[in-house]
Structure 1
């Protein structure tokens, strides 16, 4: 299939992969074909005049006309765009398309000889820096990354903990905190939960970055900026640390849930929100819903897990009964074969010694809450 690019007529694209690879020169097409062979999650686009005869078989998208007219559609559709064109040309073409670094796709440029792979746009949030390294490794090329935190080998504030699934609460302070980090001001990293292996380099932490296990201790050192890793909602007094700080939510909360058959997702969600609020936890730190095997097809539970992107785990009655619980129920055993559902399910997944909430019954839902022990993720 060949798309004819015309001004004022956005082309229809058949997106399948997460990344688009685009070439407009003879050498660029050869590089692009080699690259897409190593990246199965890519869609390849190049000019029809370089057609080789196997494009239908390889699902290549060919086009006629200016590549500039193709880019707006690619920007809207793909997570990342890899373009084999001169850097200056790419900058001019994408300039009118830029909106926000939190939504713009990652853009990577490769020179016509395939010698340099350059991270151009959305290096961190858009993943262009990581993509640049991967592409350069495939092509045996030189990765060119100019982001300050990467060059200085320090903490990338906007990507901190991303590989573990951490989420930041607010983007408001990302820029000033990033500035403090790259300018080597005094930085406090306060961690109460989550993975410990967040430092990505073989070198020790820079001297300006200090770690603390609680906010009050960090406050006494009066840091210029702070990165707080916790599943808790901060108290008013603790929020002082966020004058120039960012809160990250590690995935550590495990919800053990039992419910009557046919319980709606709305009721389950309401109980979950009410419960995490009562515990002063952040719903962003929920990692998984756990239940009994009998509920593996329970629509309400599955819908909530899918809505939030949480893991969904279920255990056999025999497995649940291996866990000692405080409130075994003969009634639950009569109907399920297990002496409890929410309590042992949460404990099994989290591997915690105890529960943050042993058990609460609300309407058709029973819920228990555990937190994965610090460093056990």
Structure 2
């Protein structure tokens, strides 16, 4: 369904995330879709004539008419707006919408080749400068920032890891933790999973940002604030660090799954939620669901992956048989040509030698769970 933009009417958009991406050209659409994959806190809007027929399942909103008529609604509802439109056109379109630098959203412009990301509006107070850096890093583009006073190189807490798809558990402590970081107070960083190359500058980490090997070690140091990056659900003792701390959920967990034909999405979802809870793993850290290519059209799997925005990865029986399988099954082989589905699928995707769950059978579903690892060589 396409949003029909009309003069004098506020566009009926559906906001799900704090940042919006809008594109009006063929190349801009490709950039917006690519950015949406790695920047999960965004809602995407582009012209319906560029529809690829998968927008509904991906949560992308189509529109018809002038993008100028879309901007008033975006200005009212979003914290930041990323426009893949020429800078001159953007300046002319947003001029009538500007009110105050304390309330205007951040506006960032990307050129049609995705080579330059430009901070246009609300650079400092509105966060456009940090948003520009994150978007540029996600696209491997050049960040263009002209604010003379923008010299403090530190972590933008509300955008931390966003280019990798990291999300926070709660926004409650965003403001006080951000204040601690900006005011150069002792801030602990503990990372248990996720991408390691999150530091965007060539200079070393500021001295107030201290990396600890564990939450227990960080607690002993009594920091003013904490950034915890993990797929794990914290225990009660560990949660004390969140008095002025935030848990970031990296997209580092993959689910391997086999199921009987016709298994409902409700049963599949229930097994996933219960299994992750038993393992002490956050649902927010799931990146992909992996299976055999015989299941590429399985309605239940497609519904669940579509609902959560997970990658749906399918492997051929020959590929699955190349992976390590602890309990190969002749029965599964007779029906599928593979000696296993959930276990080898998740091993291939994560590259993990040790899985969080090798295999569990529950009703019509077989599930395996693994955590992706990232090389230390990527860090800083």
TM-score with structure 2 setting the length: 0.72
Query: CA–CA distance in 2 between the matches of 1:86 and 1:315?
Result: 47
Matched, 1:289 2:289: yes
Structure 2 equivalent of residue 19 of structure 1: 22
Query: CA–CA distance in 2 between the matches of 1:187 and 1:272?
Result: 34
Residues 173 and 244 in structure 2, CA contact (< 8 A), matched pair in contact too? yes
Matched, 1:311 2:318: no
Query: CA–CA distance in 1 between the matches of 2:153 and 2:193?
Result: 24
Structure 1 equivalent of residue 369 of structure 2: 369
Q: Secondary structure of the residue that 2:151 maps to in structure 1?
A: helix
Q: Following TM superposition, by how much is the alpha carbon of 1:200 offset from its aligned partner in structure 2, in angstroms?
A: 0.4
Cα deviation code 1:161-201 (max 9, x no counterpart):
11111111000000000000000000110001111101100
Q: Secondary structure of the residue that 1:151 maps to in structure 2?
A: coil
Query: CA–CA distance in 1 between the matches of 2:264 and 2:347?
Result: 25
Residues 173 and 245 in structure 2, CA contact (< 8 A), matched pair in contact too? yes
Query: CA–CA distance in 2 between the matches of 1:359 and 1:120?
Result: 50
Q: Secondary structure of the residue that 1:361 maps to in structure 2?
A: strand
Q: Following TM superposition, by how much is the alpha carbon of 1:230 offset from its aligned partner in structure 2, in angstroms?
A: 0.4
Change (3 A) 1:269 1:133: closer
Query: CA–CA distance in 1 between the matches of 2:96 and 2:133?
Result: 23
Cα deviation code 1:294-349 (max 9, x no counterpart):
11111111111111111111111111111222211111111111111111111111
Query: CA–CA distance in 2 between the matches of 1:205 and 1:261?
Result: 51
Change (3 A) 1:10 1:190: same
Change (3 A) 1:166 1:124: farther
1:84 to 73, 78, 91: 91
Residues 257 and 342 in structure 1, CA contact (< 8 A), matched pair in contact too? yes
Matched, 1:359 2:366: no
Alignment of 1:327-366 (within 5 A): 327-366=327-366
Change (3 A) 1:248 1:292: same
Query: CA–CA distance in 2 between the matches of 1:20 and 1:309?
Result: 21
Cα deviation code 1:220-270 (max 9, x no counterpart):
111100000000000000011111000001111110000000111111000
Structure 2 equivalent of residue 55 of structure 1: none
Query: CA–CA distance in 2 between the matches of 1:37 and 1:362?
Result: 45
Matched, 1:129 2:136: no
Change (3 A) 1:87 1:153: farther
Query: CA–CA distance in 1 between the matches of 2:187 and 2:108?
Result: 31
Q: Secondary structure of the residue that 1:193 maps to in structure 2?
A: coil
Change (3 A) 1:105 1:338: farther
Q: Following TM superposition, by how much is the alpha carbon of 1:13 offset from its aligned partner in structure 2, in angstroms?
A: 9.7
Change (3 A) 1:130 1:19: farther
Query: CA–CA distance in 1 between the matches of 2:370 and 2:155?
Result: 30
Query: CA–CA distance in 1 between the matches of 2:354 and 2:135?
Result: 44
Query: CA–CA distance in 2 between the matches of 1:70 and 1:340?
Result: 49
Larger Rg: 1
Residues 132 and 144 in structure 1, CA contact (< 8 A), matched pair in contact too? no
Query: CA–CA distance in 1 between the matches of 2:273 and 2:291?
Result: 18
Residues 254 and 350 in structure 2, CA contact (< 8 A), matched pair in contact too? yes
For structure 1, the residue ranges without an aligned partner over 5 or more in a row are 22-35, 45-58, 64-68, 99-103, 110-115
Q: Following TM superposition, by how much is the alpha carbon of 1:360 offset from its aligned partner in structure 2, in angstroms?
A: 0.8
For structure 2, the residue ranges without an aligned partner over 5 or more in a row are 14-19, 33-44, 48-63, 110-117
Alignment of 1:176-325 (within 5 A): 176-325=176-325
Change (3 A) 1:12 1:87: closer
Query: CA–CA distance in 1 between the matches of 2:291 and 2:119?
Result: 47
1:119 to 111, 118, 121: 121
Query: CA–CA distance in 1 between the matches of 2:277 and 2:285?
Result: 12
TM-score with structure 1 setting the length: 0.72
* CA-based RMSD: 3.9
Structure 2 equivalent of residue 157 of structure 1: 157
Residues 317 and 336 in structure 2, CA contact (< 8 A), matched pair in contact too? yes
Q: Secondary structure of the residue that 1:92 maps to in structure 2?
A: coil
Cα deviation code 1:123-172 (max 9, x no counterpart):
448985359989xxx9x9973348x9x63100000011111111110000
Cα deviation code 1:264-301 (max 9, x no counterpart):
11110000000000001000001110001111111111
Structure 1 equivalent of residue 145 of structure 2: 143
Q: Following TM superposition, by how much is the alpha carbon of 1:354 offset from its aligned partner in structure 2, in angstroms?
A: 1.7
Query: CA–CA distance in 1 between the matches of 2:130 and 2:308?
Result: 22
